[in-house]
Structure 1
């Protein structure tokens, strides 16, 4: 497995500290840069990359390191610097080289190295590839970032962490593989879990989460299908009848009584110089948790204090391209959200998905959803909102086990959609379902209660409702 090593330091790794770290391989290695200088690489003299070091990231959020790394190392007080070194799988010594690089940084600057066992300050001697048939050339700009295995159809990334996050590097890999027409397959040990943002990003074929298990080889962590490496990609190992087989570990009991509340909403505003983005998410977070989000950022670890002003500036700077960001909350209340901001022909759309985790003795606040819908409709240009509940881990990570899909509990139609469909038609679906009218009589929203999240029949009801609304 590839080994990522991370230095968590209370001080910023300056030039001298980085130089000391980069001498972990002695004077016989070369140093280069990639991705417009955002990545520093230790290379052999022939140009083979050994360790890639990401630009240090200043993390302001308490609990973010524990969310992604666990409690294995003492985390410095916030703010602290997160410096990530990614070892190549092509050279066995590269892992020790990454550990020595990060160990030297924490020796000079304080803090801790993850994993703790990787930290050293020794000089790591790597094999001289001068006599090997290896010729390395700089990658052209815009090509696929370095991955562990690359074939005509698939890019394979091997990762070994407690939680595999949607890092900036992995986001770049996903974009590049999509642009090149390849699949991205992330290979992990069976004890690993995915963060919710990475799970969302991997949704849809041909991308896969490939789990390596000692009892059954490889299987798909999201579908359970046993996999084999065939023709340059991981594909289901079919039986003689042409059917896929589900791995036994995938069927083991999962979250038990833990649950998640998922709120997916879309809002729309006319483009305006005074429009502040992120407010619908902020409002939903306040109503459902009693507190605002604590942080946001484009990738994990999420490192910036929550600021709708800064989020708006980022989106305006990227326009007309879409902006995709993540948000997290207080460590004591498991919550994470994705927000996608896009330009439309008539204004600005914000698509938000907020997930909250609840333990055995906690109850999802379903009784607050209607009031939230009314506020969003009145103040934030709500178009639609779907609320659902699922049995899944409170910490919102995804294990390589079967988890039942969410069950819808409520659907809200915003005022603009009600006008387009027609109030009379929208109020009278061919069901026993009757919506609650929210807002003013002249500009109402409609809120449809579908259940309490325990009866999967709610999906059938929702499907019939959507079909009725589309046939206006």
Structure 2
């Protein structure tokens, strides 16, 4: 699998330092650029890329190196320079380690993983004539077929880096699936999990004893017709990998909020206020940072977030926000322009250790503020047993169980009050209140049935008002 090596330095790698790093393979290797100069590649004599180096990123958000790498660095901003080695060439991984090691030595930094660091010159002796030329021009893609772009990742935690984001965007535009192949021990960050949601994209887990399976559904997979697809018996049934079924109970939990807001599309609109309000109510502080990929590198700013979304409009924008290091909290935000205005689709997840109590008392006041000040359409709050660090293992995890559902006052006016379900708590102005429906304490599966009655009314009402 592909080897990723990251140099973490307190100073920005300048051109002479980068060139010194790229000399890791000696004078016989060449250098080229791709992605409009954002990626520098160390190339074999025949031109094929051996190591691809992304432009350094200044990570100004505390805790990101610890969250993504388990490799905390000293307080203060750090430059993150990631090198991705080709899976096809045996020496490429050591070349990436030498590149990163040289940067860290010159700039007083560190290397992840630490054992990869070296400053040795790595001679390349591979016979390239026996290795097919890679079909993909994208640095993140290891195998490309007519239907699928395959990315192989050999790292403990697979984040939605700009590498993967670009690969997903390119594959989607070409009508292809993105399939990420990892070892059995790998986990996904929440943004990666959400980005892979829905077929034909897959997380493919390689089990050394039993072959391949889908890390999100457990379906046993095999490589067929240029893609990973489920193995089916003569009746067309798909089996589930035994290793996927094991899910030890740890007592850790996650609080999940799924909400939508809607705003008039005017020049004074500032986005991100709903995300900030949710973080403040549930963690006690605003998000620490935001970005379009991981690592999350920019200090939190609703103004800068809005500027980026406005510059991309009418195309949608997909963004990530993270909390302070002392409380696992992460949100994804999708901003899209619709006929009704500007909408924000937000998923916020907070993690809690075994003996911690989620702040369930804060949900109703949060719903009231979202409705009064941030254009709330709907808010669903749920609780689940899952890892408190918010990472996703290749194991079966129980589904979330609903706790409450809130309809914003504008949505109540538009769709009417649902005739079925529990009695709601009115929020806001009595004449036009938002409706907050308690559904349970996050332990009763029957709450899904109650929630289904409410959403059935919404679907019917929305269908009735369509032209």
Q: Is the 8 A contact 1:70 1:162 kept in 2?
A: no
Question: Quick one: distance in 2 between partners of 1:12 and 1:66?
Answer: 20
Relative distance call for 1:240 and 1:99 in structure 2 (3 A) is same
Tell me if 1:96 matches 2:86.
no
Match of 1:436 in 2: 425
Deviation string for 1:62-83 (max 9, x for gaps)? 2111111114xx5243201000
- The offset of 1:153, in angstroms, is 1.6
Deviations 1:77-106 (A, max 9, x none): 320100000000121111110000000000
Structure 1: stretches of 5+ with no match in the other structure: none
The CA RMSD over aligned residues, in Å, is: 1.7
Distance in 2 of aligned mates of 1:300 and 1:368? 29
Matched, 1:17 2:17: yes
1:123 aligns with 2:157: no
User: Which residues of 2 match residues 45-444 of structure 1 at below 5 A?
Assistant: 45-71=45-71, 75-127=73-125, 144-422=138-416, 425-426=417-418, 429-431=419-421, 433-444=422-433
Sort the Cα spacing of 1:298 and 1:258 in 2 relative to 1 into closer, same or farther, 3 A. Answer: same
Q: Matched residues in 2 for 1:125 and 1:448: separation?
A: 66
Give the alignment partner of residue 463 of structure 1, picking from 452, 455, 458. Answer: 452
Offset, 1:231 = 2.1
What TM-score does the superposition give when structure 1 sets the normalisation length? 0.94
Shift of 1:230: 1.8
Q: In the superposition, relative to structure 1, how do residues 343 and 91 fare at CA in structure 2: closer, same or farther (>3 Å)? A: same
Runs of 4+ in structure 1 off by over 4 angstroms are: 128-137, 143-146
Deviation at 1:452, TM superposition (A): 0.8
Give, in whole Å, the separation in 1 of the partners of 2:43 and 2:223. 30
Q: TM-score, normalised by structure 2?
A: 0.95
By how many angstroms is 1:129 displaced?
Answer: 5.5
Q: CA deviation at 1:130?
A: 7.4
> Would the alpha carbon gap of residues 136 and 115 (structure 1) be closer, same or farther in structure 2, given more than 3 Å must change?
closer
The total of aligned residue pairs comes to 461
Task: State the shift of 1:312 in Å.
Answer: 1.3
1:225 deviates by 1.4
Partner of 1:7: 7
> Residue 383 of structure 1: SS of its match in structure 2?
strand
Q: Deviations over 1:183-239 (max 9, x none)?
A: 111111111100000000000111111111222121111111121222222122223
Kept in 2, the 8 Å contact 1:374–1:439? The answer is yes
Question: Within 2, Cα distance between the matches of 1:450 and 1:135?
Answer: 57
- Tell me by how many angstroms 1:131 deviates: 6.0
Distance of 2:386 and 2:116 partners within structure 1:
32
